Structure 1
Amino acid sequence: MSQRPRLFGWRCCACLLLIVALIWAAVHQLRQPLWDEPEIVLEMGGTYEGLRKKSSAPFSPEIRGHIWSGIPMTDAKLRFVDSQFGFTTPAARFFSVGFDDNVIYSVRMSPQIEPLLIDDALKVVLDLQNQWRERGWVAKGLRENPTIADTPEWRAYLRKGILSGRSFWQAGDKYQAMLLLGRFEDYRNPTEERYLITLALAKPWVPFDEIEDLYNEPSHFPAPQPRQ
């Protein structure tokens, strides 16, 4: 008789533990997309408070001062908010947001978690350029900085590791983006060709319409021009 209450109690505890485990697993499954892909939701001219409220990735505390930079506290992708010119990036480990009196004025990031093989790096770069093109961004400075393409000429140019591929894009008079793709010596993969992407975004800072015809000296290492 004394064994039955103990056995009954043990079974109740086991059932309760099983139910708790199932509930935890279900909650984990529902929240997993948020954990896997945290994002920084950013609007140029928006505020620090707005960025923290809209983003699913935790962000560094405010630093008192006129101009300062903040960073996400985890790997995070960028969702750049604009009704016409918005775009998204893959998750980034290097990600810095510039603030002026807590108002966002710049972004600098590397839209990747680690240095990438050339195939993967070009996929990221071409996707960003395609997003910009489809959203009405215009490539600028094409004579010296043609848009990056997946061609044998571009692959050979990047493989040299002398200069990075560079393209500039502009969204009306609102934003300008500079995209860099260069070879990177990755100490963790010393026998592989790895590449690093850098994206800088702010209000237009290079006046291409004014300077494009001022310099005619050819580059010693010209980037590949688009095929005719």
Structure 2
Amino acid sequence: MADFDYQTFLPGGQHWSLRLRRGTTMTLSAEAADTNVSMLFYNPENLLERLSLPDTLKAQHTFKLTTGHCLFSDMGRIFASIVADDLGWHDSVGGNLHAAHMIEKGWQPVSFQDALNDRTQTGHDSFLIELAKYELGARDLAANLNLFSKVVADDDGRLSYVPGHCQAGASLTLRFEMDTLVALHTCPHPLDPAADYPKRGVTIGLGSAAPVGDDDVCYRHCAENARGFANNRLYHLGAA
């Protein structure tokens, strides 16, 4: 595995949040097949600015996310770019695991009082726990990204989950283009068909990125991405 400035392992069904500086890379490596990592992004200097998946998809004319794609804020800036990816498809529309999904699937809830950190958590509650650390709450939730998961749509718009899309060892690297508050969890995808609540962890490595050049795969992906990078340059000049 590559050398990182910091590395940790987040077990399945857990959550974390951290502030990452511009120019930081985050590499995520799946522990097992069908790992899911859900993410939300916020601007730590203005928490009203957050990840907008509708803007991300509209700007890049895509339903799936992979290398070359950028993750846009609702202010037209770029939080992060996908600079490496083993899978070629990450879910942008599947949403987050709620208590109702657990009931529908027959996944037995296990409380903290009964199992401590081995409890079963929903993605919804996981995000709320992390956001509360920054005085954010339910009204601050937005559509979340599901890394490592693949959801497809049929001709009638019905969504279905693709088991086996992610295999153990699959990885993805994000490069952060502005300071970003990252909230993430490793709870299962809401459409995961597993018979029991799955706990699949992820290794997280943090490093430093080289400066973005004119030949960068994310910058050159489309004109909208170039405009997003220009918006970031303006923001970092203090003229936002």
Shorter chain as denominator, the TM-score bin is under 0.3
Larger radius of gyration: 1
Q: Which has the higher helix share?
A: 1
TM-score (structure 2 length as normaliser): 0.25
TM-score (norm 1): 0.26
Structure number with greater CO (CA < 8 Å, separation at least 6) is 2
